C-alpha cells in the first residue's frame, strides 16, 4: 500500500468476518468430544451449539457469556469496529438477555499504525454505548492479520432464557434481517461490488438486534437464535437438532438484499458459504426448482445478521407487526416447524 492509497482492511485478510469461522462440519464433532457439563448452575452450555452460555447466579439472576471475533469484513477501521461489536452483542440478545459489559479481543499487525487500532476501538465503543454496554478492558496480541471482537457478559432472568432448544411443532419461523451480507462483503473485498451495496450491508450489520429482542420479550417465544457464520439454514439446523424437530423454509419468503441475488448469480460467494452448503446437504432437502444460487443465499455466512425466532403460529402475525413498528430491518415469516424428528429441514419455494 502506497502513501497515496487509502487503507483497505479487507485486503489484509484472507477471509472476511464470520465467513472466517470454521464451518459446522469442523466444529460440531469437536463439541461432541468435550466432557459433559454437570454443574446444575449451567443453564446453557455447548451441547446444543447455542449462541452463548448461561450461568445461574440466583433464582432471579443469570449471566449470559459469549465471545466473538474475526478478521475485517469492511475496509474502514471504524466500520470494522462497529460491525464486530454489533455482531458480538447479538449473541446476548439471542439468549433473551441484556448486555452488561464487554472486553475487547485484539490481534493487530506491526505493519499498521496504532491510529488504525484506535479507530477500530472507537467504532466498537460507539456501538457498545448504543447498547448501554461499556467496554471495560481487553487484551491485544501481535498478529499477521487484523482481528477484533468482544467478550460480552449479559444478564437474564433464569426463567426467561431463550435458547435454541425449545422449538415446537406448529411454530412459525420469524426472521428480522435480510440475508446476503456474506456475498456482498465478498464482492466488495474482491472489487466486484458494482452496485456499491456494501454501504447498505454495513447499515444492516451495524444495526443492533436490541429492538427485535425487546419485541420478542413481550411474546411467547419457544426458541431464538441469531444468524451469523453458519447461515440461515445452518443456525436453523442447530435449532431443529437441539429441539428434536423438523422444519420447512420457504425460499421466496426469505428477505434477501437485492444485490446479493445479482452477485451470487455470477458466482460470487464466500468460501464459508460454500462450506455451509456442503455440510448441510446431509440435513437439508431442497425441493426441485430450488436453484444452486438460492441454496447459497440460504446458507450465506452472515456477519451480525438478524434474529430467528420460533413462535406459536397463532401469534406470528402479531409478532411481525410489532417488529415492524419497532423498526427492525425485516419482519418475515420464513417457514415453520413441521413436526418431531432429528433436525431435518426441507426447503420449498412457497408455503405448502
> Strand, coil or helix: what is 108?
strand
Contact status, residue 83 vs residue 206, Cβ threshold 8 Å: yes
Predicted confidence at residue 34, as pLDDT, reads 82
Q: 299 an active-site residue? A: no
- Cα distances (angstroms) measured from residue 288 to each of 104, 219, 280, 315, 335: 46, 36, 17, 31, 17
- At 325-340, the pLDDT tens digits run 999 999 999 999 999 9
Paired residues of 286 in beta bridges: 347
Residues 6+ apart with CB under 8 A from 14: 20, 71, 145
Residues 6+ apart with CB under 8 A from 129: none
Give the separation between CA 334 and CA 247, rounded to whole angstroms. 11
Q: Is the pLDDT of residue 1 over 70?
A: no
**For residues 248-269, average pLDDT:** 98
Of 18, 53, 73, 161, the active-site residue reads 18
Q: Where are the alpha helices (DSSP H) in 206-340?
A: 210-216, 231-243, 258-265, 271-280, 292-298, 316-326
Predicted confidence at residue 18, as pLDDT, reads 56
Buried b vs exposed e over 105-137: b needs ≥16 C-beta within 10 Å? bbbbeeebeeebbebbbebbbebbebbebebee
Residue 222's φ and ψ, nearest 5 degrees, are -90, -30
Using a 10 angstrom Cβ sphere, with 0-12 exposed, 13-18 middle and 19 or more buried, the burial of residue 274 is middle
Q: State the cell numbers at 241.
A: 437438532
Predicted confidence at residue 7, as pLDDT, reads 87
**For residues 1-27, average pLDDT:** 72
Q: Is 220 left (phi over 0), alpha (psi -120 to 50) or beta?
A: beta
What rounded mean pLDDT belongs to the chain?
95
Predicted confidence at residue 26, as pLDDT, reads 80
pLDDT category, 295, cuts 50, 70, 90? very high
Q: What is the pTM of this model?
A: 0.94
- In 3D, which of 195, 225, 203 has the Cα closest to residue 127? 203
Q: Is the pLDDT of residue 142 over 70?
A: yes
Predicted confidence at residue 119, as pLDDT, reads 98
Predicted confidence at residue 17, as pLDDT, reads 60
Using a 10 angstrom Cβ sphere, with 0-12 exposed, 13-18 middle and 19 or more buried, the burial of residue 346 is middle
Residues 6+ apart with CB under 8 A from 257: 178, 179, 180, 181, 184, 197, 200, 201, 204
Q: How far apart are the first and last CA of the chain?
A: 54
Predicted confidence at residue 244, as pLDDT, reads 98
Torsion of CA 157, 159, 165, 168, to 10 degrees: -130
Alpha carbon 116 to chain centroid distance?
25
- In 3D, which of 271, 138, 263, 259 has the Cα closest to residue 201? 259
- At 157-206, the pLDDT tens digits run 999 999 999 999 999 999 999 999 999 999 999 999 999 999 999 999 99
Tell me the domains of the chain and their CATH numbers. Answer: 9-160 (3.30.1330.10), 171-348 (3.90.650.10)
- At 28-57, the pLDDT tens digits run 788 778 888 999 999 999 888 899 999 999
Amino acid at each position: 500500500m502506497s502513501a497515496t492509497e487509502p487503507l483497505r482492511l479487507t485486503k489484509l485478510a484472507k477471509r472476511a468476518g464470520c465467513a472466517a469461522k470454521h464451518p459446522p462440519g469442523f466444529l460440531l464433532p469437536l463439541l461432541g468430544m468435550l466432557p459433559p457439563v454437570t454443574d446444575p448452575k449451567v443453564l446453557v452450555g455447548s451441547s446444543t451449539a447455542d449462541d452463548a452460555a448461561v450461568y445461574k447466579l440466583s433464582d432471579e439472576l443469570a449471566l449470559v457469556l459469549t465471545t466473538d471475533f474475526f478478521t475485517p469484513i469492511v475496509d474502514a477501521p471504524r466500520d470494522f469496529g462497529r460491525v464486530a461489536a454489533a455482531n458480538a452483542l447479538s449473541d446476548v440478545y439471542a439468549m433473551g438477555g441484556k448486555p452488561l459489559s464487554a472486553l475487547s479481543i485484539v490481534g493487530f499487525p506491526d505493519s499498521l499504525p496504532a491510529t488504525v487500532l484506535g479507530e477500530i476501538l472507537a467504532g466498537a465503543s460507539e456501538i457498545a454505548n448504543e447498547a448501554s454496554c461499556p467496554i471495560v478492558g481487553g487484551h491485544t496480541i501481535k498478529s499477521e492479520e487484523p482481528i477484533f471482537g468482544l467478550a460480552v457478559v449479559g444478564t437474564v432472568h433464569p426463567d426467561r432464557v431463550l435458547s435454541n432448544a425449545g422449538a415446537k411443532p406448529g411454530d412459525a419461523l420469524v426472521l428480522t434481517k435480510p440475508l446476503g451480507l456474506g456475498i456482498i462483503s465478498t464482492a466488495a473485498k474482491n472489487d466486484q461490488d458494482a452496485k456499491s451495496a456494501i454501504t447498505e450491508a454495513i447499515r444492516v450489520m451495524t444495526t443492533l438486534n436490541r429492538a427485535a429482542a425487546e419485541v420478542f420479550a413481550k411474546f411467547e417465544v419457544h426458541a431464538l437464535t441469531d444468524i451469523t457464520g453458519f447461515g440461515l439454514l445452518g443456525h436453523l439446523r442447530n435449532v431443529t437438532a437441539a429441539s428434536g424437530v423438523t422444519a420447512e423454509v420457504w425460499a421466496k419468503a426469505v428477505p434477501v438484499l437485492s444485490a446479493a441475488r445479482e452477485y451470487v448469480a455470477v458466482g460470487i460467494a464466500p468460501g464459508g458459504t460454500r462450506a455451509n452448503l456442503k455440510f448441510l446437504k446431509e440435513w437439508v432437502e431442497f425441493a426441485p426448482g430450488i436453484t444452486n444460487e438460492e441454496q447459497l443465499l440460504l446458507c450465506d455466512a452472515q456477519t451480525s445478521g438478524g434474529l430467528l425466532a420460533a413462535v406459536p403460529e397463532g401469534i406470528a402475525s402479531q409478532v411481525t407487526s410489532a417488529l415492524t413498528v419497532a423498526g427492525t430491518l425485516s419482519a418475515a415469516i420464513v417457514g415453520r416447524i413441521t413436526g418431531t424428528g432429528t433436525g431435518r429441514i426441507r426447503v420449498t419455494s412457497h408455503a405448502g
